[in-house]
Structure 1
C-alpha cells in the first residue's frame, strides 16, 4: 500500500502515526499519509526562516526563479496521466475532469505566474523624491482544502516563492499527493531546501498552530467560512497578514432571453463540477416564472444522460462525494429541504451494485425553494441545486444579493449589455456571463462579504505576497528651509 510522507527542509519526513486515505468510489483504504503535529510545523517554520535568511533564494534573479517554475510545471505535465489517476482516487473527481481541472489548470497557472514574475517591478519611483519598494514577507503559510488541492496550492505557493518568500503549505490529509508532487518537481529543478515545506495534520491542532505561529508573517487560507473566522482570531494574536477565500452560495440568474440549450448545460456545469464540491458553484438557480417549468424539465432530461460512476473510469461524468461525512451532511440538508417545503423535482437513491460501496449522492434538483430556506442560505457542498422563481430582474438581483456570501454569481442572456449591467450590481467577487467555473490566471479570484477578502490570481497575484516600503529622499532644500525649523528654531550658530 502506498505511503506518503511530509516534505520539510528538502527531505521527506515520516511519523509513527498516519492517516488512512480512502477511495471515495469504493470506500476502501488505498494509501496512508504521515500525520504531522505542531512539532513538525515548528520544524518547517525553522527551515523556512533559515532558507529565507541564508539560502540565497530571495536574491535569485526573477528571471531565474521564473525559469525554475516553468521547468517544474513541465515536470508535472510529463506526469499528467499518472497524477490525474491519483487525484481521482484521492477525492473522487472523475479522471477525465481531473486531467483538465485538478492537474492541467494549475500547470497553466504556474506558467502564467512565471511569466508575471519576469516583468515584476520591485521598485517604482514616485515623484522626484521617493520610491516604493516591494519586499517579501519572509515566512508565509498556505492552508489548502481537499476539493481542488493542487489548484489552490499553486495559487498560494507559486506567487509566494516567485517573490522570494519561504512557504509552509498545510495540505488536507485526504488529498496530499499532488501538492507533494509540486514540491518534488520544484526541488528537482533546484529550489533550495526549506523554501517550500509540506505538512499534514489535524485541522484543529496543526491548522490553528500555523494560524497563530509568531514566525509566520502571512496566512492564505481557503476553506469554510466558520474555519476562516477561527483563522482570523488566531492570526490576530500576531497581527499577521491574511488572505481568506471562504464559502459561497452562487446565484445563477437565467434571463428570459437566454439561449436555453446553452444555459441548461451551463447551469448543470455550474453546480455539478466535482459533485458540487466547489466553493464557487452555482447552487442557487434563479429562473423567470415564464420559463421556469420548461427550464427545469430540460435540465432534468439532460441530467438523466449523465454517467455516474467510479472516478477512475474515463466514461464517468459525475463521481462520488469525498467521504461518508460529506455524504451524510448533504443527505441531512435534503431532509431539511423537504421539511421546509421544497420539492425534490429530481433526485433519490442511486441503485445498482456499483453504488453499494463508496459515497454516493444522487444529483438533485430542488424546486419551490425560497431564499429563507436553509438549502438556499447555507453552503451544502454537494450535487444539489436550489431553484428559485423571480418575476422581475430587480427581484432576481435582490434575491441574488440576499446572502451572507459573495464569492460567485452568473448571468445568462443573449444581450451582453444587459447581462453586464446586472453583473455590475451583483455582490460577488466573480460574475460569469454565459459560463461558469472559468478561472483565468489573468483575473482575480476572491469574495465579498463572508466569502472572504484578498485575491488570488489576477494582475496583483504576486503583490499579495509582498509588502510595500516607502523610501523618501532629501529634497535638497537648504537646512534653514527644512521643516526641522518647526522644532529647531534657534540658529545653529546661536545654539553653539
Structure 2
C-alpha cells in the first residue's frame, strides 16, 4: 500500500507488551486510492476475463509462497497474536496455504436450465466486482486466505483490512504477493487504526460486496453501512457455542475435546465451546478431571515450543475478561481453577473454569472470546438442547455420546451453522462454515462459500420456430 501521509502505528507483542514492528496507518486519502486501484483492476484489467484455470495458476503460486515463507509468517503470527508457535506451525500457516491450493482448482460453472418453453435458458455466474474483506485478530492469516482465495478465483478484486490488533502478518503477506506475478490491484492490503477509514471501505459505492469476520456488534455496524448502498454482505460473527457431554461419552476423548474447545488459541475463537453442558451423573467426575488437566497447561512465552498456552491479544481484552469473571462470581459461579492474571509482563490470563453456572448468567449469555469456560449441569437430552439453543448466537455446537441416534437427533436440533459429533474444531476447505441467528449469515469455504462471490445472471435465448416469440406478437 502506498501511503500519502507516512503515518504509522505500532504492532504490539502481547507476550511482552512491547512494540515489535511499525505498520502504515492509512487515512481517508489512502482508502480512496486503494479502492480506486481495486476498481481499476476489475473494470480495466484482464483478471475478471481470465478463465478459472488461468487464475488458479496464481492461487497455486500464493500457496507455494506461503509455504516458502512458513517460518517467517508463523513467527509473525506468534508475535502479533500471542498464539503458540506450535499452533502457528501446525494450524495457521499450512491451513492458509492449503486454502489457496484448494480454491486454485475449483470453479462455478454455468448451468443450462430445463424449462418448458421454446427457449435456451442459462444461468451464468459472474464476479461481483470489488470486495472489501475485513478480518478479526484471532486468525489473521487463515481469515485472509478464507476471504482472498474464493474471491479472486471467481474473478473479483479484493481490499483486505486486518484488525489493527493483529495486522503484521497480513501486511507482510501483502508485501510478498507481487513475487507471484499477481496483476496489480487484484489483492490490496490496507492497515489502519481508523474506524472511519474502515467505514469508507464498506460504504463506498465503488465497493460491490463486504465480507466481515468479527464481533456481532461490529458486524451490525458493518451491515448498516453496507445497507446505505444496498450491497451484499457476508458476516461471520460471534458465538457462545454449546459443548454437550452425555454420560455415555468416551470420557478421555470428551475431556480432551472440552479442553481444546475452550483453551486452544487462549479461547480466542468464535467457535469456542464456552458453554460446557455436562449430564448430571457425570458432572462431578468430569469437572474434577477437567480442572486437573487445565491446571497442567504450560503458560508462557508463545515462541517457546514447550508453551501450550499464550497471552491474550490485548491488555484491554484481558481486563474485560477479569471483569467478566468477577461478575460471574457475584452472580453465584465458583472459580474451580484460574481466574487470575499472573504478575508478569504481557497480557496473560490463567485458563479459567467456572462451575455452578446457570444458563441465565451473563457469563453464559455473552461471548467471552477468551479462556473462560462455563460448566452447566443438565439431566435430560431435551433440557440440554433447550438450554443450548437458548442463546442469541448460533455458530457452532458439539455432542459427545456413543449413541449414534442420540447424536443425530441432537445435531439436527441444535440451531447452529456447524455441529461436531465426538470431535471439535474441524474445518475443511470442502465444507461450508457460517452461522445462524446473531452469529451472522453467508458462508466461508466449500461450494457455498465460493458462490458468495459470484452473481447469478439469467440469459434467455428465443428458439421459437419462425422466430416469433409470444413477446413479439402480443400486440
The TM-score by the shorter chain falls in which range?
over 0.9
Q: Are residues 203 and 277 of structure 1, via their aligned partners in 2, closer, same or farther at CA, if it must alter by over 3 Å?
A: farther
- 1:484 shift after superposition: 4.5
**SS of residue matched to 1:403:** coil
CA contact (8 A) 1:22 1:90 kept: yes
- 1:187 shift after superposition: 2.2
- 1:485 shift after superposition: 4.0
Q: 1:455-494 residue pairs with structure 2 within 5 A? A: 455-478=443-466, 482-486=470-474, 488=475
Counterpart check, 1:125 vs 2:112? yes
Q: What is the Cα-based RMSD across aligned positions, in Å?
A: 1.5
| Aligned equivalents of 1:124, 1:81: Cα separation in 2 | 43
Counterpart check, 1:234 vs 2:225? yes
| Aligned equivalents of 2:383, 2:304: Cα separation in 1 | 43
Aligned partner of 2:187 in structure 1 is 196
Q: Deviations over 1:320-353 (max 9, x none)?
A: 00111011010010011001111111114355xx
Q: 1:391 aligns with which of 364, 372, 379?
A: 379
- 1:480 shift after superposition: 6.5
Q: Are residues 274 and 481 of structure 1, via their aligned partners in 2, closer, same or farther at CA, if it must alter by over 3 Å?
A: closer
| Aligned equivalents of 1:337, 1:399: Cα separation in 2 | 18
Aligned partner of 2:153 in structure 1 is 162
Aligned partner of 2:264 in structure 1 is 273
Q: 1:144 aligns with which of 125, 128, 135?
A: 135
- 1:13 shift after superposition: 4.0
CA contact (8 A) 1:24 1:358 kept: yes
| Aligned equivalents of 1:379, 1:347: Cα separation in 2 | 18
CA contact (8 A) 2:442 2:449 kept: no
Counterpart check, 1:36 vs 2:23? no
| Aligned equivalents of 1:202, 1:433: Cα separation in 2 | 40
CA contact (8 A) 1:25 1:310 kept: yes
- 1:483 shift after superposition: 4.4
| Aligned equivalents of 1:91, 1:15: Cα separation in 2 | 27
CA contact (8 A) 1:68 1:186 kept: no
Q: 1:188-267 residue pairs with structure 2 within 5 A? A: 188-267=179-258
| Aligned equivalents of 1:37, 1:136: Cα separation in 2 | 28
Q: 1:58 aligns with which of 42, 45, 48?
A: 48
Q: 2:318 aligns with which of 327, 348, 353?
A: 327
- 1:211 shift after superposition: 1.5
- 1:57 shift after superposition: 1.2
- 1:201 shift after superposition: 1.6
Aligned partner of 1:4 in structure 2 is none
Counterpart check, 1:22 vs 2:12? yes
Counterpart check, 1:175 vs 2:163? no
Counterpart check, 1:101 vs 2:91? yes
Aligned partner of 1:69 in structure 2 is 59
| Aligned equivalents of 2:404, 2:312: Cα separation in 1 | 35
Q: Deviations over 1:227-263 (max 9, x none)?
A: 1111111111111000000000000001111011110
| Aligned equivalents of 1:178, 1:100: Cα separation in 2 | 16
Gap runs ≥5 in structure 1: 1-6, 489-496
CA contact (8 A) 2:239 2:367 kept: yes
Gap runs ≥5 in structure 2: none
Q: Are residues 483 and 455 of structure 1, via their aligned partners in 2, closer, same or farther at CA, if it must alter by over 3 Å?
A: same
| Aligned equivalents of 1:283, 1:412: Cα separation in 2 | 15
Aligned partner of 1:360 in structure 2 is 348
Q: Are residues 480 and 307 of structure 1, via their aligned partners in 2, closer, same or farther at CA, if it must alter by over 3 Å?
A: closer
Aligned partner of 1:311 in structure 2 is 302
Aligned partner of 1:81 in structure 2 is 71
Structure 1 runs of 4+ with >6 Å offset: none
| Aligned equivalents of 1:177, 1:350: Cα separation in 2 | 26
Q: Deviations over 1:278-321 (max 9, x none)?
A: 11110000001100000000101111221101111110000000
- 1:28 shift after superposition: 1.1
Q: Deviations over 1:414-434 (max 9, x none)?
A: 223321221011000000111
| Aligned equivalents of 2:203, 2:471: Cα separation in 1 | 42
- 1:17 shift after superposition: 2.0
CA contact (8 A) 1:72 1:185 kept: no
Q: 1:286 aligns with which of 277, 282, 297?
A: 277
| Aligned equivalents of 2:61, 2:404: Cα separation in 1 | 40
| Aligned equivalents of 2:281, 2:419: Cα separation in 1 | 24
| Aligned equivalents of 1:481, 1:411: Cα separation in 2 | 57
| Aligned equivalents of 1:399, 1:240: Cα separation in 2 | 35
| Aligned equivalents of 1:268, 1:339: Cα separation in 2 | 25
Aligned partner of 2:178 in structure 1 is 187
| Aligned equivalents of 1:73, 1:13: Cα separation in 2 | 28
Question: Which of these two proteins has the greater Rg computed from alpha carbons?
Answer: 1
CA contact (8 A) 1:410 1:432 kept: yes
Q: 1:454 aligns with which of 442, 461, 471?
A: 442
Aligned pair count?
471
| Aligned equivalents of 2:14, 2:262: Cα separation in 1 | 19
TM-score, structure 1 normalization = 0.92
CA contact (8 A) 2:11 2:168 kept: no
